[in-house]
């Protein structure tokens, strides 16, 4: 299959709508990461998404909408808390898990009776949903297990020959995927942290929000989990990634004493000059949003420079940093050392 890579304009957006209506899969930009969009009501389209990604079929997809009216049929119940959060955070990087409605096909939800929904804050994505009239299901547009794509070029590398069209909407703003929060019970539970934090949600709802323990702990593959995506190895470059906790001086002497080949460092801005090996900064030490923005780009760059072993400075675990930490520990396969 020939894969077109087109800038967003009337024609390319019409083509994207046509393709999605016809059950095809299109690479689209969102404010978080690029997604692989297909009609959430069409099981053949959904099968194509799983195939293109090589995604385990027990891992459900997120449905993307462009208006509150579209929720009808996609979910069977909209709680007051959901309405409140939608008012504050939609359009935006918040996915809410709700009871599944009849119009979404079972494959989209991997057979679960719940569905994740979000309204993306990206002009191109919303125009495609509006114009086609189709709420699309979209996972991140990477091959399963690889870092999520934050540029159209990343999608092209992973999806060339597998999908007919990618719309190039430039670099994604947030850089990490949406916050996923389960709204199925009385207490909201964060299943995947993002740039909308537990504290943000607590403030708006004026009640406590939980964070699932799997967010920072490892999960054995055969364990029952709240969100299937928790149990898969994720975001991994070819290199072995090791997170190193400890102050910067200890980090520097530890890394500089490793003489093996292909060692690289992921550090914060301004720290680069201390190392004898190749270094990539993934943002400012005290600015987790900049780290979120750069993380996946840097993880993908490691492959391009042929890194074999990567020592990464450890992010904080509060607020937006938790999203960065959650992705980085997965890319490291939970390997953390302290110096």
Binding residues for ligand TXA, per CB under 6 A? Answer: 30, 32-33, 35, 59-62, 93, 95, 97, 109, 112, 114-116, 138-140, 177-178, 180, 191-192, 227-229
- In the bound state with ligand TXA, the residue whose beta carbon lies nearer, of 81 and 177, is 177
Residue, CB closest to ligand TXA: 229
- Smallest distance from the beta carbon of 82 to ligand TXA, in angstroms? 14
Residue, CB closest to Mg ion: 140
Binding mask 112-141 for Mg ion (x = CB under 5 A): ----------------------------x-
- Smallest distance from the beta carbon of 113 to ligand TXA, in angstroms? 8
Pick left, alpha or beta for residue 235 (phi over 0 → left; psi -120 to 50 → alpha; otherwise beta). Answer: left
- In the bound state with Mg ion, the residue whose beta carbon lies nearer, of 265 and 328, is 328
**Number of chain residues interacting with Mg ion (CB under 5 A):** 1
- Smallest distance from the beta carbon of 244 to ligand TXA, in angstroms? 27
- Smallest distance from the beta carbon of 12 to ligand TXA, in angstroms? 18
The CB density around residue 10, as the number of other CB atoms within 10 Å, is 9
Give the integer Cα–Cα distance in Å for 300 and 313.
17
- Smallest distance from the beta carbon of 180 to ligand TXA, in angstroms? 5
User: Please, which residues bridge with residue 4 across strands?
Assistant: 165
Residue 315, binding choice from Mg ion, ligand TXA, none, Cβ under 5 to 8 Å by partner class: none
From the number of C-beta atoms within 10 Å of its C-beta (0-12, 13-18, 19+), residue 143 rates as: middle
Q: Which contacts qualify for 270-273: CB closer than 8 Å, 24 or more apart?
A: 271/313
Residue recorded with tokens 């994505």: 125
- In the bound state with ligand TXA, the residue whose beta carbon lies nearer, of 63 and 264, is 63
Residue 95, binding choice from Mg ion, ligand TXA, none, Cβ under 5 to 8 Å by partner class: ligand TXA
DSSP designation for 269: T
Strand order, beta sheet including 336-338: 278-281, 263-267, 309-313, 240-245, 336-338
- In the bound state with Mg ion, the residue whose beta carbon lies nearer, of 101 and 228, is 228
Q: Which residues of 80-111 are buried (b: 16+ CB within 10 A; e: fewer)?
A: ebbeebbeebbbbbbbbbbebbebbbebbbbe
The token pair that represents 87 in the structure block: 């008012």
- In the bound state with ligand TXA, the residue whose beta carbon lies nearer, of 181 and 265, is 181
Q: Does 95 bind Mg ion (CB under 5 A)?
A: no
Given a contact cutoff of 8 angstroms between Cβ atoms, the answer to whether 234 and 326 are in contact is no
- Give residues in contact with Mg ion (CB under 5 A): 140
């Amino acid at each position: 299959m020939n894969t077109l890579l087109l800038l967003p304009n009337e024609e390319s957006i019409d083509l994207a709508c046509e393709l999605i209506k016809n059950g095809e899969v299109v690479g689209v930009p969102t404010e978080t990461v690029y997604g692989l969009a297909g009609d959430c009501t069409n099981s053949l389209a959904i099968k194509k998404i799983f195939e293109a990604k090589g995604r385990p079929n027990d891992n459900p997809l997120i449905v993307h909408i462009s208006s509150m009216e579209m929720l009808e049929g996609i979910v069977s119940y909209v709680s007051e808390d959901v309405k409140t959060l939608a008012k504050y955070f939609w359009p935006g990087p918040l996915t809410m898990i709700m009871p599944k409605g009849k119009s979404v096909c079972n494959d989209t939800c991997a057979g679960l009776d719940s569905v994740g929904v979000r309204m993306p804050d990206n002009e191109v994505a919303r125009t495609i949903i509006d114009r086609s009239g189709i709420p699309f299901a979209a996972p991140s547009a990477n091959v399963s297990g690889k870092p999520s794509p934050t540029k159209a070029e990343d999608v092209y590398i992973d999806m060339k020959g597998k999908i007919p069209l990618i719309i190039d909407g430039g670099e994604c703003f947030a850089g990490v995927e949406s916050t996923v929060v389960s709204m199925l019970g009385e207490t909201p539970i964060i299943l995947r942290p993002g740039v909308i934090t537990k504290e943000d949600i607590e403030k708006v709802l004026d009640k406590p929000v939980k964070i699932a323990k799997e967010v920072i702990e490892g999960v054995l593959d055969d364990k029952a989990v709240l969100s299937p995506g928790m149990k898969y190895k994720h975001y991994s470059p070819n290199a072995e990634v090791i997170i190193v906790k400890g102050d910067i001086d200890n980090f520097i002497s530890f890394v500089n004493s490793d003489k093996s080949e292909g060692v690289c460092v992921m550090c914060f801005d301004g720290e680069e000059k201390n190392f004898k090996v190749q270094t990539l900064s993934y943002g400012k030490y005290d600015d987790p949003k900049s780290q979120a923005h750069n993380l996946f780009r840097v993880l993908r760059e490691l492959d391009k420079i042929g890194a074999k072993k990567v020592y990464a400075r450890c992010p904080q675990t509060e607020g937006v940093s938790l999203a960065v930490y959650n992705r980085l520990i997965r890319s490291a396969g939970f390997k953390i050392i302290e110096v």
